């Protein structure tokens, strides 16, 4: 398709469909354009306050569905009324193995494809939680926007019982932890990356949270499970949102695969729960997003059917999420 006026029109119509979210002021970070559901397969746009990220997936022929430069300029024009002043582009190759584990240089270039350069980092608002984002720091930005309503929901759960003990495994930059801590929870954030734990601590600082009552553990999740059992640590809520794959930690242990390891993850989390505690289990691994598959892994890990609890629907700005995202909240007892 044309990457100019026609694409701007698609983006503008997609933005109109999200007008309620924009008017609500609940967040300034959301998905503006969601691929096929908004009219163009393989193209997505996420807005982060004054910046936007245009995400382009190469097709099976290795070609992008749209000219990224023209599309970025059209995106900037369409989103300017929201105060967006820069559009960065992230192209996802069909065969990422050819990258050799390295990020293309363009992903760390502070100069956007369209507009004026933004600071290395800035903050966005999500239901009152302030979070640091970085738009030219590799493929990710520091926050997974599709978890927005789940973070809000778990924060509401914590607000009903101040002082809840929350364990956030594979915590990344600690967005779940910050949301729960703001609601009065005492959190433990676990990740193998010291860099991301430092980012999580900065997210706490952005929200005026004293880090002293909270734990930030640079550990493999299963290593932390063993540590917590030895120390008699127990939690009221355990958050499981692992990556699909992860290499073996340098300290030893196994490489991680959600497909083969999710039930083991659930079993480990359940052993750390206080009586009446709950587990939030989430995945975007394709195999586990098939109807009923995540439920089966949960039952396998527990050895019994849990009490299923309600979660909000996936954010409407992401379009139909069936087959791309699965999440469950449950109590083993």
Complete DSSP assignment for 4-47: SHHHHHHHHHHHHHTHHHHHHTSBSEEEEEEGGGGT-TTEEEEE
pLDDT at 245: 86
Residue 171, SS3? coil
pTM over 0.85? The answer is yes
pLDDT at 308: 98
Provide the CATH topology of domain 5-119.
Transcription Regulator spoIIAA (3.30.750)
pLDDT at 236: 98
Q: Domain segments of the chain: what residues? A: 5-119, 144-331
Helix, strand and coil content of the chain, in percent to the nearest 5, comes to 35, 25, 40
Neighbours of 251 (CB within 10 A): 10
pLDDT at 25: 96
CATH of region 144-331:
3.40.50.150
| Alpha-carbon gap, residue 173 to 190, rounded angstroms | 10
pLDDT at 255: 83
Buried b / exposed e over 184-195, threshold 16 CB at 10 Å, is ebbbbbbbbeee
Q: Which of 316, 324, 329 is nearest to 280 (CA)?
A: 329
Q: Which of 138, 221, 207 is nearest to 177 (CA)?
A: 207
pLDDT at 105: 82
DSSP annotation of 146: G
| Chunked mean pLDDT (size 10), the chain, 333 residues | 81 97 97 96 97 91 84 97 97 65 79 98 98 96 97 98 97 98 98 97 98 96 97 98 83 81 97 98 95 97 98 92 86 92
pLDDT digits (tens, 9 = 90+) for 97-156: 554 555 688 899 999 999 999 999 999 999 999 999 999 999 999 999 999 999 999 999
3-state secondary structure labels for all residues of 246-294: ECCCCCCCCCEEHHHHHHHHHHHHHCCEEEEEEEEEEECCHHHHCCCHH
pLDDT at 110: 97
Q: Which of 319, 299, 321, 317 is nearest to 308 (CA)?
A: 299
| Alpha-carbon gap, residue 48 to 51, rounded angstroms | 5
pLDDT at 253: 66
| Alpha-carbon gap, residue 265 to 175, rounded angstroms | 20
Cα distances (angstroms) measured from residue 326 to each of 29, 196, 230: 21, 24, 32
pLDDT at 251: 64
Total residue count of the chain as it appears in this document? 333
Two structure tokens written together for 115: 């507009």
Neighbouring residues of 294: CB distance < 8 A, sequence distance ≥ 6: 262, 281, 283, 288, 326, 327, 328
pLDDT digits (tens, 9 = 90+) for 198-225: 999 999 999 999 999 999 999 999 999 9
pLDDT at 93: 82
């Amino acid at each position: 398709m044309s990457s100019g006026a026609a694409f701007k029109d698609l983006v503008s119509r997609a933005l109109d469909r999200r007008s309620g979210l924009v008017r609500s002021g609940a967040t300034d970070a959301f998905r503006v354009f969601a691929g096929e559901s908004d009219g163009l397969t393989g193209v997505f746009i996420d807005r982060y306050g004054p910046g936007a990220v245009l995400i382009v997936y190469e097709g099976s022929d290795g070609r992008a569905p749209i000219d990224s430069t023209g599309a970025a300029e059209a995106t900037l024009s369409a989103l300017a009324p929201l105060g967006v002043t820069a559009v960065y582009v992230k192209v996802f190759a069909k065969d990422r193995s050819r990258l050799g584990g390295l990020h293309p240089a363009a992903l760390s270039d502070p100069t956007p494809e369209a507009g004026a350069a933004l600071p290395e980092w800035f903050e966005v608002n999500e239901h009152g939680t302030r979070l640091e984002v970085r738009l030219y720091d590799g493929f990710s930005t520091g926050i997974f926007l599709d978890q927005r309503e789940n973070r809000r929901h778990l924060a509401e759960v914590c607000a009903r019982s101040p002082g809840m003990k929350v364990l956030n495994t594979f915590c990344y930059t600690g967005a779940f932890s910050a949301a729960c801590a703001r609601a009065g929870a005492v959190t433990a954030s676990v990740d193998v990356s010291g860099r991301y734990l430092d980012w999580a601590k900065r997210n706490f600082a952005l929200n005026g949270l004293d880090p002293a009552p909270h734990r930030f553990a640079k550990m493999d999740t299963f290593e932390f499970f063993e540590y917590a059992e030895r120390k008699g640590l127990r939690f009221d809520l355990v958050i499981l949102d692992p990556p699909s794959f992860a290499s073996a930690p340098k300290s030893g242990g196994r490489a991680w695969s959600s497909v083969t390891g999710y039930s083991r993850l659930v079993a480990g989390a359940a052993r750390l729960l206080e009586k009446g505690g709950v587990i939030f289990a989430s995945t975007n691994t394709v195999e586990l997003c098939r109807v009923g598959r995540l439920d089966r892994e949960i039952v396998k890990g527990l050895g019994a059917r849990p009490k299923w609890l309600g979660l909000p629907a996936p954010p409407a700005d992401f379009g139909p999420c069936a087959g791309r995202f699965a999440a469950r909240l449950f109590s083993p007892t």
